Structures are given as C-alpha cells and as structure tokens.
A and B are shown apart, each in its own frame.
Chain A
Amino acid sequence: AQSVSQHNHHVILSEAASLELGCNYSYGGTVNLFWYVQYPGQHLQLLLKYFSGDPLVKGIKGFEAEFIKSKFSFNLRKPSVQWSDTAEYFCAVNQGDNAGNMLTFGGGTRLMVKP
C-alpha cells in the first residue's frame, strides 16, 4: 500500500531561518503531490501541488517544493520563515493513474516559529 513519510515531527525555528520539511512516498508510478497547511484552529489549506512539468513548484506565502522522482521525495522549503508560519504541515500523495481522488497523507510536521 502507498505510504507517505514525514521524518520531522516537530521543528522549532527562529524567525528568518530557512525551512526544509522532508516528504518521501512509496509509490513507483505516476503521482500527484500536495502540501497542505493547518493553522491552529483552522481547516487544511493547500500550499502547493505538483502534477507534471517543472519539478520545482512555487506555492502561496513564499513556499516552494521540489519533486525528485529518483528519490521519491517532495520536500517543502521556505527561505525565511515568519512567526505566522507556525502551523502543522502535511504532505499528501495521489496515485495519478488509478486512485481517483484519494489522498494518502503523511503524519504531519508541527512547525513552531519563535519571534
């Protein structure tokens, strides 16, 4: 079965520090890749997504992610975090060839940014 791993469960950074959150998945076929963010008390919001084309994807709020097919990875990055980026971040994968709309989520990474 498809699985998604987010290796960092908790990350604490100071404002202006750079961020990289890891995401690895297990499915070897065509995939659609997503990063969602969940701010405290709010619903899941889409940060960015990858379907095809340029493996470097830019999303909202200065976030970007790079799809490296050979490494089954889709890591999330931001060059300079802000206190308002404090949230939980979820990587999710859709098997593009046969899974309809089903997403498999990673366990999440809780980011705390210290002012």
Chain B
Amino acid sequence: ETGVTQSPTHLIKTRGQQVTLRCSSQSGHNTVSWYQQALGQGPQFIFQYYREEENGRGNFPPRFSGLQFPNYSSELNVNALELDDSALYLCASSPGGGTGQFYGYTFGSGTRLTVV
C-alpha cells in the first residue's frame, strides 16, 4: 500500500502571497485532515475533508481553505500569508469519514513553508 505523499517538500513565499499545498491520501483512505506544526510545538488541527466537503475545522481563519477531489487527494490553500504561517504542514489520511470509530491517521512527511 502507498502512504501519504505531499508536495512540495519545501517552499519559500513572501508575506501577502498565496500558497497551495498538495496531498495524496493512502490507498483506501477517504478522509483527509491537515495539521500545522510550528517549530517546537505539536501539530494543530486545521480542518478535515470527507466526500469533497469540509466536515471539521480547528481554530484557523478563513484564509486557510481546502479542497478534496474525487480520488480523495486534497489541497490546502493559504491566502494573504503572514510570517506566523511559517510551519510544517502535515496531511493525514484515515478511513471512515469522521463518523464512528476513529482508528488513527497515516501522516505524510509534510511541507515546510517559510514566509519571509
């Protein structure tokens, strides 16, 4: 089985720009979640997608948005980048759709975003 793949691995953007990060979920997983991991901190939940719709969101502003495609892959978009958006962005996939028993994620290696 393939794991979760993310692209790009590293990215440098200027404050105010927009960025799109991509994720391919593990085979058989229909739910994709995104996390932000700032340096020295644990990952923080951004949002989750199931059946191409957002079905859970953490404490992040609307300039963080996403998409899920019919093949379960996903994008994270961040508009009007701020310096504090510099972090490792993790994609995680799971089966089940966010209802019923949650058995845990498979995480990707992340995209390191630096905003200058």
Contact = CB atoms under 8 A, between A and B. Distances in A.
Contacts of A96: 101-102
Contacts of A107: 40-42
B66 interface: no
Nearest to B4: A43
Interface in A17-46: 32, 34, 36, 42-46
Contacts of A100: 48, 55-56, 98-99, 102
A99 B57 CA distance: 10
A48 B33 CA distance: 20
A103 B48 contact: no
A56 B104 CA distance: 18
A34 B45 contact: no
Given A100-B99, A101-B48, A101-B105, A108 B31 contact: no
Given A32-B102, A43-B110, A104 B45 contact: yes
Contacts of B101: 32, 51, 96
Nearest to A4: B42
B31 to A, nearest CB: 6
- The bracket for how many chain B residues form the interface is 20 to 34
A101 B107 contact: no
Interface string A1-17: 00010100000000000
A105 B107 CA distance: 14
A103 B55 contact: no
A58 to B, nearest CB: 16
Given A34-B104, A102-B56, A104-B45, 4 more contacts: A32-B104, A51-B103, A107-B41, A108-B40
29 contacts: A4-B42, A6-B42, A32-B101, A43-B108, A43-B109, A44-B107, A46-B104, A49-B104, A90-B43, A92-B42, A96-B101, A96-B102, A100-B48, A100-B55, A101-B33, A101-B94, A101-B96, A101-B98, A101-B102, A102-B45, A102-B48, A103-B43, A103-B45, A103-B105, A105-B35, A105-B43, A106-B42, A107-B42, A108-B40
